Amino acid sequence: MSTQSNVRVRYAPSPTGYLHVGGVRTYLFNWLFAKRHGGKLILRIEDTDQERSRPEHEAKMMTDIRTLELDYDEGPDVGGDYGPYRQSDRLKIYFEHARKLLNEGKAYHCFCSPDELTQKRDAAMKMGRPFVYDGTCLKLPKEEIEKRLASGEKAGLRFRSPNKSFVLDDIVKGRVEFKEGTVGDFFITRSPREGEEEVAAGIGMPVYNFACVIDDHLMELTHIIRGEDHLSNTARQLMIYDAFGWELPQMAHSGMVLGTDRQKLSKRNGDVSVHDYLSKGYLPDAIINFLVLLGWWPKGDFKPKSGHPEILSREELFQIFDTNGLQKSPAIFDVQKLRWMNSFYLKSISLDEVMERSRRFFESYNEGTLKGLLEERSPEWLKEALDLVRSEVALLSELPEAIDKLFLREPEVDEKFSHVFEDPKAKEVAVIFEKKLRALHGDLTEEAVKALQKETGKDADAKGKVLFMTIRAITTGRTQGPELTKVLPLLGKDAVLGRIDALKREAAITE
């Protein structure tokens, strides 16, 4: 990581719903870029759409960001030198800037009603043309505008799109040209809605493109990293930078995230709220690792410590992330891959961490019925049991059931169980193993299980699969699973004998 630099980037969510996985990906690109360059990440809440923005959405987004263990340097709750960081607290600033454009003739009042505009938009669509505002209100004489405003008529402010093309030199997309005439005059402040307080006479709430540029400039952002769905906004934003004579930050528009059906990622093709993944027991590090690789790839032949090219720790990402690894092409969100990654992380974190992170799932599992059973056992017992079952599951939320099935509940037989006992040798192995276990003095330790397996093999003249799979099947009901020499000591001699009793009936062993 490099030392302090002037790099300033931002994540600017609109609190109109949950934190989308695509939003988290944008967060990560900016967060990692700031870390890599010793810069600052700013969290800015874009809530000028008062109809759709809600404080509770903002609160939930912040909670999810914290749960993902992500940080930021400046924001509504942590402050900073460039605040306020919530757009609804910055209305005066937007108003001043709108007034400046109005005075310079770069913006004008537009009295067209939403109905009129919809009609014009529909007419353009019918003719297969994109809608470009026809400039009706641009032609209004000054006196008429003043008269209409004085009489209380509502108006929005339209930006006068200059008659020229704009070119963006995008870090990811390369040269992007926005041709003259494709973007008509557009609103920078809305006409105040019924009952809505006017920010200033005749000027309502600022719209996203306007507020965003003003903030990006005043907050001295050096790079804007976001998804290419914002490229169409960029045309308007370039015009606003130009109108104020401001320098453009460097821009990077990465390819979109699509579902496995190659459609835009939405509720239709899977969970899109990061909160859903956290509540299902995905680990923050796995989510981060997975999302950052959707549209970004390390340059060169970096070899992660994990030994797997796609498993990268946060520290490694801090060292190697850069915008030159961002991809133009769309990335596919494959939840199976996320599961795989999560199982990788679940196996590699410490057992204390597994215990801590899975606690809430144990508490809520089966209406809390596991809690009592687990209280009878020591934390060491639970730790060892978790170590055994974590190799079998992918999510934290799947651990309680795995423990319940293997150690606590009456054993259930798997689909291959009865095949095992079609072999008469298997029945003999089961009977001899049970006898030897009954005769065991002392605890059923790992060594004791090994010795019992060995002696059973000798007495039954059996080895390999028929020996080991039979002992597994008659003690657990399963034909595969975690290491039996570790599972049986955790069950204890009495519980194993109880299981053998029940499973002997299933295996049709009558002796």
Stretch that binds ligand GLU, among 9-17, 110-118, 152-160, 335-343 (CB under 6 A): 9-17
d(CA 171, CA 183): 23
Question: Which tokens sit at 203?
Answer: 């000027």
Q: Cis peptide leading into 114, omega within 30 of 0?
A: no
Question: Which tokens sit at 336?
Answer: 């199976």
Residue selected from 193, 230, 337, 436 as contacting ligand GLU according to rule CB under 6 A: 230
For residues 17 to 56, the per-residue mask of contacts with ligand GLU, x marking binding by CB under 6 A and - elsewhere, is -----------------------------x----------
CB 108 within 8 A of CB 157: yes
Residue selected from 9, 12, 98, 214 as contacting ligand GLU according to rule CB under 6 A: 12
d(CA 390, CA 456): 30
Any idea how long the chain is?
Answer: 511
**Smallest gap, in angstroms, from Cβ of residue 199 to ligand GLU?**
19
**Smallest gap, in angstroms, from Cβ of residue 24 to ligand GLU?**
12
**Smallest gap, in angstroms, from Cβ of residue 83 to ligand GLU?**
17
Residue selected from 8, 14, 85, 155 as contacting ligand GLU according to rule CB under 6 A: 14
Q: Are strands 331-332 and 257-258 parallel, antiparallel or unpaired?
A: parallel
* 74 touches ligand GLU by CB under 6 A: no
Residue selected from 13, 202, 204, 295 as contacting ligand GLU according to rule CB under 6 A: 13
CB nearer ligand GLU, residue 8 or residue 109:
8
Phi, psi of 317 (to 5 degrees): -60, -40
Quickly count helices (H) and strands (E) in the chain. 21, 11
d(CA 313, CA 439): 50
Does 305 qualify as catalytic in the annotation? no
For residues 114 to 133, the per-residue mask of contacts with ligand GLU, x marking binding by CB under 6 A and - elsewhere, is --------------------
Question: Which tokens sit at 341?
Answer: 């990654």
* 452 touches ligand GLU by CB under 6 A: no
Give the three-class secondary structure for 250. Answer: strand
CB nearer ligand GLU, residue 99 or residue 230:
230
Residue selected from 226, 390, 405, 472 as contacting ligand GLU according to rule CB under 6 A: 226
* 265 touches ligand GLU by CB under 6 A: no
Stretch that binds ligand GLU, among 11-19, 165-173, 454-462, 472-480 (CB under 6 A): 11-19
* 314 touches ligand GLU by CB under 6 A: no
Q: Is 262 left (phi over 0), alpha (psi -120 to 50) or beta?
A: left
**Smallest gap, in angstroms, from Cβ of residue 293 to ligand GLU?**
21
Nearest residue to 15 via CA among 68, 67, 65 = 65
Give the three-class secondary structure for 415. Answer: coil
Among 126, 139, 142, 267, the active-site one is 267
d(CA 468, CA 448): 15
* 64 touches ligand GLU by CB under 6 A: no
CB 183 within 8 A of CB 158: no
Binding positions for ligand GLU, rule: CB under 6 A: 12-14, 46, 212, 226, 230
* Residues belonging to the active site: 267
